[in-house]
Amino acid sequence: MAFGSFDSKPAGSTMSEINMVPLIDVMLVLLVIFIITAPLLSHSIKINVPQVTTQPIEQQPKVIDLAIDTSGAVFWNEQPVALDELQARFAAEAGADPQPEVRIRADVDTRYGELAEIMGAARRAGMKRLGFVTHPAPTGAPAAPAAPAVTQ
């Protein structure tokens, strides 16, 4: 079908445009065919599976409470332990299934280097679950105390 345009072309010239209506009609027909036939293409085999009633096994992973006080002493589940012993203990616990979670409770004044050493020992042994135990700040108190001034 030829339509005239508002251009300054001569009156006898025609515009060549693709008529999209038949293409859209074909696309919609194909879409309807695919919607109808898609559920019919699923191949399923009917089998009679046995019915069993069981209780699910809920495994609670063991928790290792690792405490570090201000002096740098380390406590494994409230029992004192030497830093040299930690790597062997972590390696023994890393093989358990499910692997226990290590919860580190450190004093506010504990040196960061000691914490990093303990966390590194746990990672080298293969422990995957490490966490820190903190206490929420009291209501109305600032979230973190102001850092003390450093003088030299």
Report pLDDT digits (tens) over 37-90. 888 777 777 777 777 777 777 777 788 899 998 888 899 999 999 888 888 888
Which residue in 95, 105, 147, 96 sits closest to 130, CA to CA?
Answer: 105
* CATH architecture, domain defined by 63-132: 2-Layer Sandwich (3.30)
pLDDT of residue 45: 74
Which residue in 107, 104, 108, 93 sits closest to 61, CA to CA?
Answer: 93
Instruction: State both tokens at 92.
Output: 């023994």
Q: Give me the residue spans of the domains in the chain.
A: 63-132
Count of positions (residues) in the chain: 152
What global pTM score does this model have? 0.52
Burial 4-31 (b: 16+ CB within 10 A, else e): eeeeeeeeeeeeeeeeeeeeeeeeeeee
Residue 145 scores a pLDDT above 70: no
Q: Classify residue 79 by burial, with Cβ atoms within 10 Å: 0-12, 13-18, 19+.
A: exposed
Cis before 142? omega within 30: no
Residue 102 scores a pLDDT above 50: yes
